[in-house]
Amino acid sequence: MPLRPPLMLSLLGLTWLGGCALVPTDRPAPPEPLTTPAFEARIDRLEASLSARCDARLENLVRQQQQHQQRLTSDVHDVSHVLRGLREDVAGLSADAAESPVVADCPASDERLANKTLLGRTEWIGLPSVGTYLEARIDSGARTSSLSATEITAFERDGEDWVRFKLGLNDDDGAVVAVRDDWIEAPVERRVRIVQANGEQSRPVIRLLMTLGSIRETVEFTLTDRIPLDYPVLLGRRFLMDIAVVDVAQEHIHERPSYPDNGPATEDGANESDGEAEQDTGSASP
């Protein structure tokens, strides 16, 4: 006899409920509630861990500081030892100086200065072949003497190198007025290479008769434009060697030479510095 529908539904429902009751559950058990003693125990453990870490760090810092202090103390001791030695040396030197003073006797005369002309830091010179006087700065640091020149023009005469130029003068430079704009011609003895901060230059060297007090010598002059400088002539150590000595505390020891059409002498200017080095590049004449 077939089952009735309501009865079948009841049986199915019971079967489903029975099956669900037989399925095992894997859910974790809920944690036990944290009690006050457990919480305090955890806090105590955390404090102990942090305290141990801080103590270790502090001990390390203290140890480093002690080592640094020991090094500083050792350095101070070394410096103190050196200072004591220096004080002893100074005391010994002072005692020696007090016990045996030495006074050097100045020689009455020096043969090395015999027959040499005394010059000041600036002097008046004469150029007889040009017919003028000029003011010169005496500079033992310069190797070659130099003469202020402009419009320097090279040319050839009888197979030799010559130059034509005019004196490079300021309005305040003392010189014979009549020769200020005259052309001067001279053979080129050689050329020098001038090394400066802004590069190199090749300059001609000529020979001119020059007078200075009792000195009358043929002097080599490098031709260059000295208008921006304070003196139209610079006398170097090649001229000074064996014939003159310089007293930088004096100037114009010797009188200015006389030439026709003399103008008034000018006051010397401030000291100058050329700031250049020269090198010979060989003779210009065959």
On whether the CB atoms of residues 211 and 123 are closer than 8 A, the answer is: no
The pLDDT of 81-107, averaged and rounded, is 65
- Residue-wise pLDDT tens digits, 100-156: 555 555 555 566 666 788 999 999 999 999 999 999 999 988 888 999 999 999 999
Domains recognised in the chain with CATH numbers: 115-283 (2.40.70.10)
- Condensed to tens digits (0 to 9), the pLDDT of residues 31-48 reads 777 788 888 888 888 888
